[in-house]
């Protein structure tokens, strides 16, 4: 039996595409090899969001080259956003690569493998979804559902529109069927994926058009799914109906990841985010009004071209005011082919790093402060496995998407009540509540 090995870089979209790749390969009779050197088919699912992502992947390619030299019958494949961004150039730069394909082209990998082709092939059309392919899920009780592919935004720093194409939404009926099938297969938590989930459905024909809020309602009605999450919403399109849904739909979790990128309206304008600091804060106020306890997390870019000390201070001000439960912070990284890469006034690296340190300190302090609200409360925790630091304890996630390490009994996939006894900026600590659920 032939064996494959997949290394995945990048976001949840890529994680999910890799699940589809694995599912497809297993249906073709391949099995998964635990290590790359044991595989006949070596695959990389790549990301190109920042320069670091490229570098990380290229460092791994060296090993694939060595393994291919050792055994030339091995097949090396490169999929995902980096592959899409360089296209055929991949074969000139890395002649040992046999097949390359963009994010929407996972199914072409099967065609390639079936064709016994000896020449390198690239597949870079934007077409359709991997939705019809079987997925091999990482965890049986958690599932991803891609509601749309691509992105119609033109954020000036971002490579994604060029790697994933224009936005295309899947039909709501198809998504309901997929979620029903996941529920029947034991999935209790579903995460909906899209680059801008709030614009879901806008591209569908009028008679089939369903808004994101309506889609949430349809999926909430599916029996067996106890938690629904989504990523990412876009502040420009975040409407009251979606915010209300968090208050009204039992399975929609009390967590919103609302990417800020910058707290300065001038920088936001140059980023082409099409919202201002005021509009963003207004969305936050609306969330807090309808769902006061909602956890808020965000993405922030530090050192965008032309960002002044005053601009940066405005980012600090917004982070202070919002008090995020967590934030992903990134040093701005110029990307090939993007508008921002050609802007004057690129910020020196040392300045970016110094600003980043100040931001991270603030974000962590606020997250720690915010997390104290959970101490003394009993939260529903979906068990994911043993704690990473102490295997005698369990690790799970609250509806607020907080990692909870706790003492108690239970198996992965169970939802238990946990009394929270301590909180840091990153994690909560607790013990299975005295009002014990059956599992504890």
Among 53, 160, 367, 415, binds ligand SF4 (CB under 6 A): 160
User: What is the smallest separation between the CB atom of 49 and ligand SAH, expressed in angstroms?
Assistant: 5
For the record, the structure tokens of 201 come out as 């459905």
Helices (H), 170-308: 172-184, 212-220, 240-248, 265-271, 277-290
For position 84 contacting ligand SAH by CB under 6 A, the verdict is no
What letters, b where the CB count within 10 A reaches 16 and e where it falls short, cover 304-313? bbbbeeebbe
For position 301 contacting ligand SAH by CB under 6 A, the verdict is yes
Interaction residues for ligand SAH, span 180-239 (CB under 6 A) = 195, 232, 234
Sign for the CA dihedral angle at 177, 169, 234, 324 comes to positive
Beta strands 227-231; 41-46: pairing state: unpaired
Q: If you count them, how many residues does the chain have?
A: 440
In the complex with ligand SAH, the residue whose CB is nearer, 76 or 302, is 302
Number of C-beta neighbours around residue 244 at 10 A: 14
User: What is the smallest separation between the CB atom of 319 and ligand SF4, expressed in angstroms?
Assistant: 18
For position 231 contacting ligand SF4 by CB under 6 A, the verdict is no
Q: How far apart are CA 7 and CA 229, in angstroms?
A: 25
**What is the x/- site pattern for ligand F3S, positions 158-177, by CB under 6 A?**
-xx--xx-------------
In the complex with ligand SAH, the residue whose CB is nearer, 122 or 233, is 233
Contact, 21 vs 106, CB < 8 A? yes
In the complex with ligand F3S, the residue whose CB is nearer, 160 or 197, is 160
In the complex with ligand SF4, the residue whose CB is nearer, 151 or 382, is 151
For position 261 contacting ligand SAH by CB under 6 A, the verdict is yes
Beta strands 378-386; 394-398: pairing state: antiparallel
Among 5, 14, 318, 324, binds ligand F3S (CB under 6 A): 14
Q: How far apart are CA 430 and CA 381, in angstroms?
A: 10
User: What is the smallest separation between the CB atom of 153 and ligand F3S, expressed in angstroms?
Assistant: 12
User: What is the smallest separation between the CB atom of 383 and ligand SF4, expressed in angstroms?
Assistant: 32
For the record, the structure tokens of 85 come out as 């961004």
- Residue 415 sits at φ, ψ, to 5 deg, of -105, 125
User: What is the smallest separation between the CB atom of 333 and ligand SAH, expressed in angstroms?
Assistant: 4
Q: How far apart are CA 178 and CA 190, in angstroms?
A: 11
The region of 7-15, 114-122, 202-210, 370-378 touching ligand F3S under the rule CB under 6 A is 7-15
Contact, 259 vs 298, CB < 8 A? yes
Among 43, 49, 379, 428, binds ligand F3S (CB under 6 A): 49
C-alpha dist (Å) from residue 431 to 5, 370, 402, 415, 424: 38, 20, 15, 13, 16
Q: Which of ligand F3S, ligand SF4, ligand SAH, none is residue 320 near (CB under 5 to 8 Å by kind)?
A: none
In 3D, which of 75, 87, 89 has the Cα closest to residue 118? 75
In the complex with ligand F3S, the residue whose CB is nearer, 248 or 299, is 299
The region of 94-102, 153-161, 280-288, 290-298 touching ligand SF4 under the rule CB under 6 A is 153-161
Q: How far apart are CA 382 and CA 10, in angstroms?
A: 25
For position 78 contacting ligand F3S by CB under 6 A, the verdict is no
**What is the x/- site pattern for ligand SF4, positions 193-212, by CB under 6 A?**
--xx----------------
Using DSSP's 3-state secondary structure scheme, residue 75 falls into strand
For position 151 contacting ligand SF4 by CB under 6 A, the verdict is yes
Contact, 236 vs 258, CB < 8 A? no
- Interface positions with ligand SAH (CB under 6 A): 49-50, 157-158, 160, 195, 232, 234, 259, 261, 299, 301, 330, 332-333, 335
- Interface positions with ligand F3S (CB under 6 A): 10-11, 13-14, 47-49, 80-81, 159-160, 163-164
- Interface positions with ligand SF4 (CB under 6 A): 151, 153, 155, 158, 160-161, 195-196, 234
């Amino acid at each position: 039996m032939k064996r494959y090995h997949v290394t995945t870089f990048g976001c949840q979209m890529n994680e999910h595409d890799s699940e589809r790749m694995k599912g497809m390969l297993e249906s073709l009779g391949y099995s998964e090899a635990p290590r790359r050197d044991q595989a006949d088919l070596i695959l990389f699912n790549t990301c190109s969001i920042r320069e670091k992502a490229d570098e990380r992947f290229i460092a791994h390619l060296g090993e694939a080259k060595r393994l291919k030299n050792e055994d030339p019958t091995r097949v090396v494949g490169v999929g995902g956003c980096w592959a899409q961004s360089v296209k055929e150039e991949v074969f000139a730069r890395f002649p040992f690569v046999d097949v390359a394909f963009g994010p929407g082209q996972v199914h072409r990998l099967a065609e390639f493998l079936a064709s016994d082709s000896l020449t390198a092939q690239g597949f870079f059309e934007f077409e359709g979804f991997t939705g019809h392919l079987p997925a091999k899920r990482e965890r049986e009780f958690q599932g991803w559902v891609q509601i749309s592919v691509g992105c119609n935004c033109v954020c000036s720093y971002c490579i994604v529109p060029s790697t994933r194409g224009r936005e295309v939404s899947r039909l709501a009926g198809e998504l309901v069927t997929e979620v029903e099938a996941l529920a029947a297969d034991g999935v209790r938590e579903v995460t909906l994926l899209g680059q801008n989930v709030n614009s879901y459905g806008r591209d569908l024909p009028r008679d089939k058009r369903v808004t994101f809020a309506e889609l949430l309602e349809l999926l909430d009605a599916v029996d067996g799914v106890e938690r629904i999450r989504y990523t990412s919403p876009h502040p420009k399109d975040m409407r009251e109906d979606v915010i209300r849904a968090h208050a009204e739909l039992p399975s929609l979790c009390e967590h919103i990841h609302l990417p800020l990128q910058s707290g300065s309206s001038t920088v936001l304008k140059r980023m082409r985010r099409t919202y201002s600091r005021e509009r963003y804060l207004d969305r936050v106020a609306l969330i807090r009004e309808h769902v006061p306890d909602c956890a808020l997390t965000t993405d922030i870019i530090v050192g965008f071209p032309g960002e002044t000390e005053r601009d940066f201070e405005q980012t600090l001000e917004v982070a202070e005011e919002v008090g995020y439960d967590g934030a992903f912070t990134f040093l701005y990284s110029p990307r090939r082919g993007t508008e921002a890469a050609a802007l004057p006034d690129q910020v020196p690296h040392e300045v970016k790093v110094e600003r980043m340190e100040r931001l991270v300190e603030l974000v962590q302090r606020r997250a720690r402060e915010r997390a104290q609200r959970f101490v003394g409360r009993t939260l529903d925790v979906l068990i994911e496995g043993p704690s990473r630091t102490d295997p005698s304890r369990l690790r799970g996630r609250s509806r607020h998407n907080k990692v909870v390490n706790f003492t108690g009994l239970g198996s992965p996939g169970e939802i238990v009540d946990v009394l929270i006894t301590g909180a840091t900026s990153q994690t909560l600590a607790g013990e299975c509540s005295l009002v014990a659920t059956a599992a504890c």
